[in-house]
Amino acid sequence: MKMVPVVELDLTDAAERIDRACRDVGFFAVPLPSELRHARRRLLALAAEFFALPEEEKAAVAMPLAGAAWRGWFPLGGELTSGVPDRKEGYYFGVELPPEPADGARPMHGPNLWPGRPSDLRNAVTEWMTAMEQLGQRILGLMALGLGREADFFARGLTAAPTSLFRIFRYPPHPDGDMATWGVGEHTDYGLLTLLATDGTPGLEVNVQGEWLDAPADADLVICNLGDMLDRLTGGRYRSTPHRARNHAGHDRYSLPFFLDPGWDAVVEPLTFDDGWTASAHTHARWDRANLTEVSGTYGDWLGAKVRKVFPDLPAPS
């Protein structure tokens, strides 16, 4: 039976289980550490409080105000997937950095935009990002073992200074009978590893070997999925799997995706494997017809080009 597996990280065979999930599905789930469950509930409550504010108040932290840092709030329909507006509202965050000089600004580098209320959102987001980065590095360590590398392979290389990004999304109930639009359309993520916490509302679907499956909707699980750069790094051994979301519940659905990606200046080149696995022998048809073996340049080049398609109206870097 096809399904998104749940992996207990403390099991002695956790690396083997994750390796199998990465090869077969490209998605798996891990239990949210019990000490983070209160933090998740607090963050979701603060997010709901923010999104319930009048639109003119939320606009005080709108993404265009952050310039090339591309941080802040966007309204329902303000983000595109494959050129089509998503039925979701969101808030973008990153690692808190000083402003980039105007003549050398990098996309997604700079300070966050914080709202006047709820005043606790800043601390809640910062603490959550720290916790998710630690959890993500632990998971990447198990992936490294599954790939036949040392456990610190990622931490001393691609994620020594990672591009860590965080989003809060609100998906309103989908209009009855609307099967033409999505909360977020079919896509794959761009980097290495995504850690997704939710409020427990169903809606996420995963394409496993051509069949769309419902992802686990347990609020005490973290859904983990692989990005395009992990697919490229492993030559398709670990695949970035298409997914999409539509909220058919009678209430808002909230999700908290955290992206643990390569450093901005990192160049991702395919690994070699003792069993002879090569990218050229295992290229696979993708939803977007992209060929990841042809990617060149830094991760920042790749990510910047992708995000400019998602928010075409935002300021471009100088």
The pLDDT-based confidence of 27 (bands split at 50, 70, 90) is very high
What would the pLDDT profile of 54-83 be if each residue is shown by its tens digit? 999 999 999 999 988 889 999 999 999 888
pLDDT band at 308 (very low <50, low <70, confident <90, very high): confident
Q: What percent of the chain has pLDDT over 70?
A: 94
- pLDDT category, 108, cuts 50, 70, 90? confident
Nearest of 229, 250, 252 to residue 300 by alpha carbon = 229
pLDDT number for residue 279: 62
- Tell me the two tokens of residue 306: 């992708």
pLDDT for position 37 = 97
> For residue 94, is it within any domain?
yes
Which tokens go with 273?
């494997």
In a domain, 296, yes or no: yes
Q: Any idea what DSSP says for residue 68? A: G
pLDDT: is 164 or 99 the higher one?
164
Give every CB contact of residue 1 below 8 A, 6+ residues apart in sequence: none
Range with lowest mean pLDDT among 148-157, 181-190, 215-224, 266-275: 266-275
Give every CB contact of residue 89 below 8 A, 6+ residues apart in sequence: 51, 73, 74, 75, 76, 78, 169, 170, 172
How much is the pLDDT for 102? Answer: 61
Judged against a pLDDT cut of 80, whether residue 34 lies above it is answered with yes
What value does the mean pLDDT take over residues 289-312? 85
Task: Please state, in angstroms and rounded to a whole number, the distance separating the CA atoms of residues 62 and 169.
Answer: 14
Average pLDDT over residues 42-49: 98
Say whether pLDDT at 305 is over 90: no
* Nearest CA among 158, 135, 166 for reference residue 267: 158
d(CA 18, CA 20): 5
Residue 244 lies in a domain: yes
Give me the pLDDT at residue 316, please: 61
What does the mean pLDDT of the chain come to?
A: 92
pLDDT exceeds cutoff 90 at 101: no
Using the predicted structure, report yes or no on whether residue 12 has a pLDDT greater than 70.
Answer: yes
Q: How far is CA 224 from CA 6, 93, 136, 146, 256, in A?
A: 10, 19, 9, 16, 12
255, part of any domain: yes
Q: What angle do CA 217, 8, 145 make, to 5 degrees?
A: 120
3-state SS, residue 211: strand
Nearest to 317 by CA among 111, 165, 104: 104
Using the predicted structure, report yes or no on whether residue 291 has a pLDDT greater than 90: no
The answer to whether residue 182 sits within a structural domain is yes
Q: Give the pLDDT score at 87.
A: 96
Residues forming a β-bridge with 163: 261
* Range 195-202 average pLDDT: 98
Q: Residue 1 falls within a domain, yes or no?
A: no
What domain range includes position 167?
14-308
From its phi and psi, is residue 301 left (phi > 0), alpha (psi between -120 and 50) or beta? alpha
Q: What is the pLDDT of residue 109?
A: 87
Question: Which residues 6+ apart lie within 8 Å of 156 measured at CB?
Answer: none
d(CA 4, CA 174): 24
Asked if residue 300 lies in contact with residue 264, where contact means CB atoms within 8 angstroms, the answer is yes
Contact 283, 294 (CB under 8 A): no
In a domain, 142, yes or no: yes
Contact 9, 139 (CB under 8 A): yes
The SS3 call for residue 214 is strand
CATH number at residue 264: 2.60.120.330
DSSP per-residue string spanning 152-177: TTTTTTTTSS-EEEEEEEEEPPPPTT
Q: Taking 80 as the threshold, does the pLDDT of residue 144 lie above it? A: yes
CB 306 within 8 A of CB 314: no
- Number of domains, the chain: 1
pLDDT at 15: 98
Q: What proportion of the chain, given as a percentage, has pLDDT over 90? A: 75
Taking the C-alpha atoms of residue 4 and residue 89, their distance in angstroms, rounded to an integer, is 26
Average pLDDT, stretch 9-34? Answer: 96
Is position 316 within any domain?
Answer: no
